[in-house]
Chain A
């Protein structure tokens, strides 16, 4: 072998190994994060964590029941507000749209998807908090809901487009009009993919902290109704992690483990079971 060939072959080997190393490094980050959270947060998970209110500042103990409930309420509002709009908007893009409006909506949706979540917080702040003069669950729910819309919309559209033409034609041939065709044939056929998109979008906003800081704010107690500031898991992780108390840090790890667990489990279940066969879209 000539020296040149040896050089080329070894370069080939070295560079390809490096790309493999990059892949291993990237992928191992997830396992490392998960492992480290289990290691640090696992021992502080207890029944109290899920059922008790936070202890008074400086005291040891207490739980995060109010933050867990707060997160659920915020997610409920986000789904209530964001999912119908995204869903129907997606139907419009896939089934009714002409040329200009769908193009505009599609492009806007993609761009809104990339807008920093904290800016969405400003939106909800100006829309809800400023007129009401106080922080509320409602404001947080709207901030998260706005973030859900573009994802659900684009995802719904792409899965509706994947429904075969023959199904639509069969439905027309039986005398169905357009909306009946959509409601009874196309939507059910695409329902799996649409549900995937909705759940992934909700899993994503479940971990959002930034838009909640000045909309839902925080609360050391239960938050009755929808018009009071509320605690939420991501915000309380942030507050506890940056706070001065050792006990807070321990609870932040436990809350982090719960949050990460919920988000990962949702993602894995959804991607593994709902997308069998169908190409899924990342959110």
Chain B
């Protein structure tokens, strides 16, 4: 506003606002202001994508697609490849799903089908609280509690029983893919649980009663009727959990070992995309280094964006509640 601060200014202003009001009612102003706020989210999202794309330009131009298949990560020589990080991210996420999905779906079946409503809602409350625990706390417990137990007890035991598999060979460091996967599993179980419980509850009562009336046991009605009816939504919850696991940073960084390696053994230390960002971003020297890290961020963003979109679609199909807010 370039108006001079004199006595004429207030009159001028009120004149303006009156003419503005004639065209724009108070409702229009409110409409416009709230619209701007809603649009801010779209602007932020576009800006995020733009930044990730532009700032990773140097690395994309230099390495092209070979970035994704190169094993070397050598900041000193300026040679960057993402393979060890992508590998570590996928392996730890898969390990976590192998543990979390049966556990979460099992618990969801108990809460949705068996537990009396009061018990079910209080247990769900506890599971929601579990989802609220900050990830650095999981990391803390991982470093000081889980890693020593893995080193002295779990890994030697696994080696003794399944040692013939390449997955369970090599020295027991305690840290590594398996430990990171276990911590991740504990972190994503609440997500699998709450979404699965919701989609199970959305299955109509009649279906259960029809199965029971035909002489099915409780388990048969659950497993052969209710779970299949809710399976798309359960898949959705798995994708949601996967997206969480892929992007989880702190807990993984603290227990994965931070060593860019591609190894078949789950006992081996590794690295993940989020962990390398957490460790190296603030000390990245040189544009190429930074831009390689940001390209990793772009990969992570796209992966989770696609998985989340897919998950929401699947859950939406099952619960068919067009505008319902879904737990995240």
Q: Are B127 and A27 in contact (CB under 8 A)?
A: yes
A66 to chain B, nearest CB (A): 18
A69 at the interface (CB under 8 A from B): no
Q: Are A149 and B41 in contact (CB under 8 A)?
A: yes
B258 to chain A, nearest CB (A): 10
B189 at the interface (CB under 8 A from A): yes
A190 at the interface (CB under 8 A from B): no
**Chain A interface main SS type:** helix
Say which residue of A135, A203, A271, A282 sits within 8 Å of B328 (CB atoms).
A282
CA distance in complex: A135, B281 (Å): 12
Say which residue of B55, B309, B311 sits within 8 Å of A126 (CB atoms).
B55
Number of B interface residues at 8 Å Cβ cutoff, please give it.
98
Q: Are B51 and A122 in contact (CB under 8 A)?
A: yes
Q: Are B327 and A281 in contact (CB under 8 A)?
A: yes
A259 at the interface (CB under 8 A from B): yes
B73 at the interface (CB under 8 A from A): no
A25 at the interface (CB under 8 A from B): yes
Q: Are A19 and B106 in contact (CB under 8 A)?
A: yes
Nearest A residue to B190, CB-CB: A26
CA distance in complex: A22, B189 (Å): 10
Number of A interface residues at 8 Å Cβ cutoff, please give it.
104
Q: Are B301 and A115 in contact (CB under 8 A)?
A: yes
Q: What B residues does A135 contact at CB under 8 A?
A: 282
Q: A26-B104, A123-B47 are in contact. Are A15 and B129 (CB under 8 A)?
A: no
Nearest A residue to B307, CB-CB: A114
A94 to chain B, nearest CB (A): 9
Q: Are A263 and B134 in contact (CB under 8 A)?
A: yes
Q: Are B35 and A118 in contact (CB under 8 A)?
A: no
Among the interface residues B25, B247, B249, which one has the most CB atoms of the partner chain A within 10 A?
A: B249
CA distance in complex: A74, B324 (Å): 31
Residues 205 to 219 of chain A near chain B (Cβ within 8 Å) = 206-210, 213-214, 217
Q: What A residues does B109 contact at CB under 8 A?
A: 19, 22
Say which residue of A177, A179, A256 sits within 8 Å of B140 (CB atoms).
A256
> CB-CB contacts of A87-125 with B at 8 A, as 1s and 0s?
111011101110001101111111111111111111101
A57 at the interface (CB under 8 A from B): no
B33 at the interface (CB under 8 A from A): yes
Comparing A46-54, A163-171, A237-245, the segment that makes contact with chain B is: A237-245
Query: Can you list 18 residue pairs at the A/B interface with Cβ under 8 Å?
Result: A11-B217, A12-B218, A16-B110, A89-B40, A91-B37, A108-B41, A111-B305, A111-B309, A112-B45, A116-B300, A118-B278, A119-B297, A158-B324, A210-B250, A213-B281, A234-B250, A237-B140, A238-B139
Known: A88-B34, A200-B132. 5 other contacts (CB 8 A): A23-B115, A122-B51, A178-B27, A264-B133, A282-B128
